[in-house]
């Protein structure tokens, strides 16, 4: 039996008494895993810096997006008792507006910060509807997306396995600000963390208690299994005198220490301190850097692992190492935008891309510091694996391209009409014909089906007398889970963008029958209290639907 749990961290109360525990790290010290809970729209795509009204008042969105999860995973990394494990209670109290698309985004948000155990919230045995913190996965057979929920669980389990029992790789340690907040003017730890994450420089947040027992052999800070090339101190008017002395010692050992905006001017206690402050300031490895220059300064010093050709503030990265296996996760956290850049990957060997939904591998390239041309749709992640050259021969690497090349020829799918049928969760897979559409529309529009929750089936025929070779189907915008059949053969399921399938093996010359099932969430039918904090998305297939391939005309 093991002891796990989480605290109330909301809006920085983790370092305060009252509704908070006073100190995040001390409060979780006795547990066997580090932990956190994400509920009540604390984390929302696109609101990483914008405060919004919430049942707890106005959010500190920078904390929720850049700080909260990092607190938990940092403790998992640095505390031997945790054995590298951080769990997250997730999905609860977002309301029925939360579907599998957002669940996948939240899962990736956690994985790319180091969470490797999940406690999904929740199944309910009460009669439907149960208004206690939906969504509920099965919902007495009323949740139309439940039949796809196992796909997200399998994806999550595979990646948690990859990110367990190995070594996290991070460039920097950032001081937890609690003692500074108790002592005077201070900067919240999430401010430098945000600057680092927006520039693909990973870090852990380290409390003073742990720093006091740390060492810096060979100029690198060593805490448990973690090694950091520098230490960052958020602005603090005052710090405990014993910490000031320890920072002086670490700097003298060769560790670069960056103070944001200014050095401390005094200590937390009512004791003489001028000598200790002067000795700290005299160290050659001590630097004072403005917050906005932090990431640029570290890159000038060569303190980074991954490098992009341009600034990508929504690209999140996580690097994890096993014996003869390097794993890099890249996640586009932008709510709508496509991310395109080139990224230099560390080390030498063969790089592969792992599809954790399909459990498949595709060859990416090889060499020393291989440069990858990266394109990620909103909500999309890439899992890259590096192995020593020659080891790939024993792996089931697929032949051919997993996705269409950038700039490949395309053709719009514009049938005379789409035949549309409907099925609620309790009736699926029995559909009732609804009618025909001559163009794709939001099916939740007021003049169509504003209160329908379930599956919308689209069917059409496409004539083709010329195509050959690789062929992909791109559905464009979909709300939200999509399943595709081509000529009666199942092509697969997508929970989020990109809604693209390789349909080469199913396509034929002549008449092709395309069937698309799109399943929305229960929020149209069940307008619960928790969903009122978010703008509802459309329903159905919005397109444009395209065929993509070298022979497309």
For residue 504, what pLDDT is reported?
92
Shared domain for 417 and 510, answered yes or no, is yes
Q: Mean pLDDT check: name the lowest of 198-207, 251-260, 504-513.
A: 504-513
- How confident is residue 107, by pLDDT bands cut at 50, 70 and 90? very high
C-alpha span between 243 and 259 (Å, rounded):
13
The per-residue pLDDT for range 495-528, each reduced to its tens digit, is 999 999 999 999 999 999 999 999 999 999 998 9
| Domain-located, residue 146 | yes
Q: Which of 398, 422, 447 is the last residue of a domain?
A: 398
Shared domain for 127 and 232, answered yes or no, is no
Q: Which of 127, 149, 165 is the last residue of a domain?
A: 165
C-alpha span between 163 and 344 (Å, rounded):
21
CATH number at residue 345: 2.60.40.1180
Long-range contacts of 398-407 (CB under 8 A, 24+ apart): 398/360, 398/361, 398/362, 400/470, 401/362, 401/470, 402/353, 402/355, 402/360, 402/362, 402/502, 403/472, 403/498, 403/500, 403/502, 404/470, 404/472, 404/474, 404/500, 404/548, 404/549, 406/373, 406/375
- Render the burial of 191-221: b for 16+ CB within 10 Å, e for the rest: bbbbbbbbbbbbbbbbbbebbeebebeeebb
C-alpha span between 406 and 393 (Å, rounded):
28
C-alpha span between 70 and 90 (Å, rounded):
15
Domain that holds residue 122: 10-165
Helix (H) or strand (E) holding 211: helix 208-211
Q: How many CA atoms lie within 13 A of 435 on its CB side?
A: 7
Contact 176, 191 (CB under 8 A): no
Shared domain for 180 and 151, answered yes or no, is no
pLDDT of 301 > 80? The answer is yes
pLDDT of 314 > 90? The answer is yes
| DSSP annotation string for 51-79 | --EETTEE--HHIIIIIHHHHHHHHHHH-
| Domain-located, residue 1 | no
Helix (H) or strand (E) holding 344: strand 339-344
Shared domain for 258 and 360, answered yes or no, is no
Contact 531, 95 (CB under 8 A): yes
| Domain-located, residue 324 | yes
CATH number at residue 225: 3.40.50
Secondary structure (3-state) at 3: coil
| 260: its two tokens | 């944001």
Bridge partner list, 348: 368
Instruction: Using alpha carbons, list the distances in angstroms from residue 226 to 110, 178, 411.
Output: 19, 22, 51
pLDDT of 406 > 90? The answer is no
Average pLDDT estimate for 176-203: 98
| 542: its two tokens | 């919005």
The per-residue pLDDT for range 371-392, each reduced to its tens digit, is 999 999 999 999 999 999 999 9
Shared domain for 289 and 335, answered yes or no, is no
Secondary structure (3-state) at 522: helix
For residue 59, what pLDDT is reported?
83
C-alpha span between 197 and 230 (Å, rounded):
15
Shared domain for 390 and 330, answered yes or no, is yes
Shared domain for 20 and 143, answered yes or no, is yes
| Domain-located, residue 403 | no
Question: Nearest to residue 354, comparing CAs of 326, 394, 391, 324?
Answer: 326
Q: What is the pTM of this model?
A: 0.97
| 113: its two tokens | 């910060």
Shared domain for 221 and 154, answered yes or no, is no
Q: Mean pLDDT check: name the lowest of 6-15, 176-185, 279-288, 341-350.
A: 6-15
For residue 388, what pLDDT is reported?
96
pLDDT of 260 > 70? The answer is yes
For residue 402, what pLDDT is reported?
66
Instruction: Using alpha carbons, list the distances in angstroms from residue 328 to 162, 227, 325, 512.
Output: 10, 18, 10, 39
Secondary structure (3-state) at 339: strand
Q: Which of 346, 369, 398 is the last residue of a domain?
A: 398
| 267: its two tokens | 């200590």
- How confident is residue 408, by pLDDT bands cut at 50, 70 and 90? confident
Shared domain for 258 and 329, answered yes or no, is no
Dihedral sign of CA atoms 41, 147, 477, 159 in order: positive
Shared domain for 20 and 133, answered yes or no, is yes
| Domain-located, residue 268 | yes
- The number of distinct structural domains making up the chain is 4
- How confident is residue 468, by pLDDT bands cut at 50, 70 and 90? confident
DSSP state, residue 537: P
């Amino acid at each position: 039996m093991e002891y796990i749990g989480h605290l109330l961290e909301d809006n920085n109360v983790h370092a305060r008494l009252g509704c908070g525990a006073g100190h995040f790290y001390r409060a979780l010290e006795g547990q066997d895993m580090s932990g956190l809970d994400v509920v009540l729209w604390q984390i929302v795509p696109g609101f990483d810096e914008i405060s919004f009204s919430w049942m707890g008042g106005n959010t500190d969105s920078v904390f929720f997006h850049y700080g909260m999860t990092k607190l938990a995973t940092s403790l998992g990394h640095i505390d031997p008792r945790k054995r590298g494990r951080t769990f997250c209670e997730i999905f609860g109290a977002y309301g029925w507006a939360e579907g599998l698309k957002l669940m996948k985004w939240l899962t990736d948000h956690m994985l790319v910060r180091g969470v490797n155990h999940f406690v999904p919230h929740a199944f309910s045995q009460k009669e439907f509807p149960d208004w206690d913190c939906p969504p509920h996965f099965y919902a007495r057979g009323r949740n139309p997306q439940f039949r796809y929920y196992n796909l997200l669980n399998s994806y999550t389990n595979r990646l948690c396995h990859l990110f367990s029992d190995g070594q996290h790789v991070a460039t920097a340690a950032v001081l937890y600000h609690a003692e500074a907040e108790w002592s005077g003017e201070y900067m919240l730890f999430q401010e430098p963390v945000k600057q680092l994450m927006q520039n693909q420089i990973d870090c852990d947040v380290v409390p003073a208690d742990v720093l006091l027992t740390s060492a810096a052999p060979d100029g690198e800070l060593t805490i448990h299994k973690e090694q950091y090339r520098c230490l960052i101190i958020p602005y603090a008017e005052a710090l405990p005198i014993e910490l000031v002395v320890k920072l002086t010692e670490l700097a003298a050992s060769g560790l670069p220490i960056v103070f944001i905006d200014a050095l401390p001017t005094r200590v937390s206690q009512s004791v003489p301190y001028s000598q200790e402050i002067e000795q700290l300031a005299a160290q050659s490895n001590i630097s004072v850097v403005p917050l906005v220059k932090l990431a640029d300064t570290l890159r000038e010093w060569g303190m980074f692992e991954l490098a992009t050709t341009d600034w990508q503030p929504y690209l999140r990265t996580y690097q994890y190492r096993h014996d003869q296996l390097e794993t890099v996760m890249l996640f586009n956290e932008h709510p709508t935008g496509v991310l395109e850049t080139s990224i230099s990957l560390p080390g030498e060997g063969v790089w592969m891309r792992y599809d954790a939904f399909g459990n498949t591998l595709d060859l990416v390239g090889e060499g020393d510091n291989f440069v990858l041309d990266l394109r990620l749709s909103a909500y999309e992640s890439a899992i890259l694996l590096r192995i020593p050259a020659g080891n790939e021969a024993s792996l089931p690497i697929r032949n051919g391209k997993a996705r269409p090349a950038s700039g490949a020829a395309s053709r719009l799918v514009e049938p005379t009409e789409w035949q549309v049928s409907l099925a609620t969760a309790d009736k699926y897979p029995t559909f009732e014909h609804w009618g025909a559409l001559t163009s794709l529309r939001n099916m939740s529009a007021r003049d169509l089906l504003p209160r329908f929750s379930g599956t919308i089936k689209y069917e059409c025929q496409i004539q083709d007398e010329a195509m050959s070779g690789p062929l992909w189907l791109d559905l464009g915008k979909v709300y939200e889970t999509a399943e595709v059949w081509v000529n009666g053969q199942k092509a697969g399921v997508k929970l989020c963008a990109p809604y693209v399938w390789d349909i080469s093996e199913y396509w034929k010359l002549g008449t092709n029958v395309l069937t698309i099932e799109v399943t929305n969430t229960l929020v149209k039918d069940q307008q619960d209290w928790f969903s009122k904090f978010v703008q509802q998305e459309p329903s159905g297939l919005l397109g444009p639907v395209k065929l993509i391939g070298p022979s497309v005309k």
